[in-house]
């Protein structure tokens, strides 16, 4: 059970606790057990994403996710302890799932079978673009001689962590947009072969915004996974691709739930007459996580040689009646924009076991 403890939560846990367990394991799943270590159910990142989109609060009981499922999906798919790896892989393929808890005859966990650990991840037809050209002004003096995406986080450059996560997800074609100190990035990655990917460099002679540089990419019939280069995340890229396809979207925006707590009592009044008083209310929003998946034809909305941001692109798509959807990032996510974020990232990679 020692190796399984990172997946475990009990029946009294909240959705937020489940998110913490999913971050801790990095495998997209938490296991709910009773006081006798018997499996009650499984909670996946998909369960939490659907709850967030439905407006369910993160402090709600984790058991509330179970009743939101169709009746035939409330009982987890499991396997007996004697099942072979081949049988486990076949079971996951049949049910189109990524995890199978393996139980003894008393219903207690023996191990967790994970599909990607039983098979070699095939290359998927998606190209990635990482925006790595920013100056990192708010991170000075750290960025005086180092591009922000090349800052060392837990023994590795941040950009290397992203490239390696893309490779493990089956994404092999990676473009890096560069502007500030591009030679530092070129010298480290070369053609990408040492990192198991094929790297194409896109030089921005002038900053073109969060979408403008996409106009410089060669034509391709593959969807584009675009992300900011200053993000440290454990997001499941394969799940993002599945979500995008399932919703038949032109563009999918990764979003993160953000909480804002007002430190005062909020008075609601009409013409000076108090109607209600809320003591230190908490508001929740979905904010842009800097991760996008675009269909190939979306590039035609991006003008050449001028600044154009993702907000402009999304606006253009909506005006044309194209479908834009949100993908909640329930895994670990941190935008490293300031010195405090950089310091937090160093602590987090240690606690999550991500340090090199």
pLDDT at residue 120 in the model: 63
Residue showing tokens 């790297």: 199
| Phi–psi pair at 272, nearest 5 degrees | 85, -5
CB 153 within 8 A of CB 356: no
pLDDT at residue 88 in the model: 86
Dihedral over alpha carbons 53, 56, 57, 62 (to 10 degrees): -110
Residue showing tokens 């994403």: 49
Q: Low-confidence residues of the chain, pLDDT below 50?
A: 1-2
Q: Where are the domains of the chain?
A: 2-118, 127-255+281-351
Other CB atoms within a 10 A radius of the CB of residue 199 amount to: 21
pLDDT at residue 32 in the model: 92
CB 122 within 8 A of CB 218: no
Q: How far apart are CA 228 and CA 232, in angstroms?
A: 10
Catalytic residue among 75, 168, 206, 280: 280
pLDDT at residue 341 in the model: 94
pLDDT at residue 1 in the model: 45
For residue 105, give both structure tokens.
């005859």
Query: DSSP label at 108?
Result: B
Question: Which class is 2-118 in CATH?
Answer: alpha beta
pLDDT at residue 117 in the model: 77
Is 206 one of the annotated active-site residues of the chain? no
The architecture in CATH of the region 127-255+281-351 reads Alpha-Beta Complex (3.90)
Q: Find the distance separating the first CA and the last CA of the chain, reported in whole Å.
A: 25
CB 325 within 8 A of CB 241: no
pLDDT at residue 125 in the model: 92
pLDDT at residue 119 in the model: 63
Query: DSSP label at 304?
Result: S
pLDDT at residue 172 in the model: 92
In 65-162, the DSSP E strands lie at 79-80, 99-103, 109-114, 127-131, 152-153, 156-157
Q: How far apart are CA 289 and CA 297, in angstroms?
A: 23
Share of the chain above pLDDT 70, in %: 98
Written in H, E and C, the secondary structure of 187-216 is HHHCCCHHHCCEEEEEECCCCCHHHHHHHH
CA 177 to chain centre: 21
- pTM, full prediction: 0.74
CB 223 within 8 A of CB 258: no
pLDDT at residue 320 in the model: 94
Number of residues that this document lists for the chain: 356
Of 334, 298, 290, nearest to 314 (Cα)? 298
Nearby residues of 259 by Cβ (< 8 Å), 6 or more positions away: 58, 282, 283, 284, 285
């Amino acid at each position: 059970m020692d190796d399984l403890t990172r997946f475990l939560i009990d029946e009294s846990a909240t959705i937020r606790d489940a998110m913490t367990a999913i971050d801790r394991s990095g495998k997209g799943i938490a296991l709910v057990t009773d006081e006798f270590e018997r499996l009650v159910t499984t909670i996946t990142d998909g369960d939490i994403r659907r709850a967030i989109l439905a407006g369910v609060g993160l402090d709600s009981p984790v058991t509330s996710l179970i009743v939101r499922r169709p009746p035939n999906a409330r009982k987890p798919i499991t396997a007996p302890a004697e099942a072979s790896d081949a049988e486990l892989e076949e079971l996951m393929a049949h049910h189109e799932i990524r995890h199978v808890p393996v139980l003894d005859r008393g219903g207690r966990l023996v191990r967790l079978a994970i599909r990607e650990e039983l098979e070699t991840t095939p290359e998927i037809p998606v190209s990635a673009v990482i925006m790595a050209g920013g100056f990192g002004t708010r991170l000075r003096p750290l960025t005086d001689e180092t591009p922000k995406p090349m800052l060392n986080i837990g023994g590795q450059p941040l950009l290397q962590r992203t490239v390696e996560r893309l490779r493990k997800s089956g994404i092999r074609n990676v473009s890096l947009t560069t502007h500030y100190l591009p030679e530092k990035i070129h010298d480290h990655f070369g053609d990408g072969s040492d990192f198991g990917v094929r790297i194409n460099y896109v030089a921005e002679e002038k900053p073109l915004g969060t979408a403008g540089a996409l106009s410089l990419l060669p034509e391709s019939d593959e969807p584009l996974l675009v992300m900011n280069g200053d993000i440290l995340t454990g997001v499941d890229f394969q799940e993002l691709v599945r979500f995008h396809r399932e919703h038949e979207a032109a563009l999918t925006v990764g979003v993160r739930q953000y909480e804002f707590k007002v430190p005062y009592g909020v008075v609601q009044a009409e013409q000076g007459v108090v109607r209600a008083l809320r003591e230190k209310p908490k508001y929740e929003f979905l904010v842009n996580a800097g991760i996008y998946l675009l269909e190939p034809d979306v590039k035609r909305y991006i003008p050449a040689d001028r600044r154009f941001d993702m907000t402009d692109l999304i606006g253009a798509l909506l005006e044309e009646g194209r479908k834009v959807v949100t993908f909640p990032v329930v895994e670990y996510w941190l935008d490293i924009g300031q010195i405090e974020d950089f310091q937090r990232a160093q602590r987090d990679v240690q606690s999550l076991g991500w340090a090199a």
